[in-house]
Amino acid sequence: MKAIFLDRDGVINELIYYREQGVIDSPFTVEQFRLLPGVSEAIKKFREMDYKVVLVSNQPGIAKGHMSRQTFETITKKMEAELAKEGAFLDAEYYCFHHPEAKIKKLKANCECRKPKPGLLVKAAKDIDIDLSKSWMIGDGLTDVKAGKVAGTRTILLGRMKCELCRLMDEDDARPDAITSDLMETAQFILKQGGKHGDLH
Ligand SMILES: [Mg+2]
Ligand SMILES: [Zn+2]
């Protein structure tokens, strides 16, 4: 099997700007969770191309005390329901709930699953029998690119490039194979690549 690994925040759903703290972060409430445009279409496209679509996401919000486990579960259900409404499904979801500075003791860890470490991808590959060399990691952060590269996938960085990122990408050995502006453009790109590499089937 080959897979498209998707980061969640900034790829599937909108990021939230918290004005008081001046930071951009994940949604912490169900109301804040909104799908980005074209995401369902892109996921359907990936599945048509015979990719498994696997979510791999750092979610330290519970560890940091931003939300309860219950809220996280409700957000997950909302995501799945909104995708399903448009006929899109994820094959699997893998989350890292840890954080090295966690307030919740149980979740305080320097784990192997928090991206940029490749643990989530490696576990998914084992569970679902995925050939990582035929797979792609798509995310809006260099931690996503790095996790994909270490795991052995090709990588795509989503987002409008800032020039500082170029330097960081080289310093951090996190240069993606491509940069696209949204998930649908990513799907088109991978469709073309599939032809070139002859690994569509
Ligand atoms: Mg992200
Ligand atoms: Zn972890």
Per-residue pLDDT reduced to its tens digit, 10-36: 999 999 988 888 888 999 999 999 999
CA distance 6 to 121: 10
User: So what's the pLDDT on residue 201?
Assistant: 42
Query: What's the gap in Å between 161 CA and the centre of ligand 2?
Result: 28
Asked if residue 52 has pLDDT above 70, the reply is yes
Query: What's the gap in Å between 108 CA and the centre of ligand 1?
Result: 21
User: Could you give phi then psi for residue 74, rounded to 5 degrees?
Assistant: -70, -40
CA distance 160 to 182: 9
Cis previous bond, 116, omega within 30: yes
Q: How confident is the model at residue 175 (pLDDT cuts 50, 70, 90)?
A: confident
Query: What's the gap in Å between 95 CA and the centre of ligand 2?
Result: 7
Query: What's the gap in Å between 12 CA and the centre of ligand 1?
Result: 9
Query: What's the gap in Å between 117 CA and the centre of ligand 2?
Result: 9
User: So what's the pLDDT on residue 173?
Assistant: 78
Q: What is the mean pLDDT of residues 103-117?
A: 96
Q: What is the mean pLDDT of residues 132-152?
A: 96
Query: What's the gap in Å between 36 CA and the centre of ligand 1?
Result: 12
Token representation of residue 150: 């270490």
Query: What's the gap in Å between 27 CA and the centre of ligand 1?
Result: 11
Query: What's the gap in Å between 123 CA and the centre of ligand 2?
Result: 12
Q: What is the mean pLDDT of residues 131-152?
A: 96
Q: What is the mean pLDDT of residues 95-103?
A: 96
pLDDT: which is higher, 173 or 11 = 11
Query: What's the gap in Å between 78 CA and the centre of ligand 1?
Result: 18
Query: What's the gap in Å between 70 CA and the centre of ligand 1?
Result: 21
Asked if residue 83 has pLDDT above 80, the reply is yes
User: So what's the pLDDT on residue 200?
Assistant: 45
Q: Are 150 and 5 in contact (CB under 8 A)?
A: no
Asked if residue 161 has pLDDT above 60, the reply is no
pLDDT: which is higher, 195 or 32 = 32
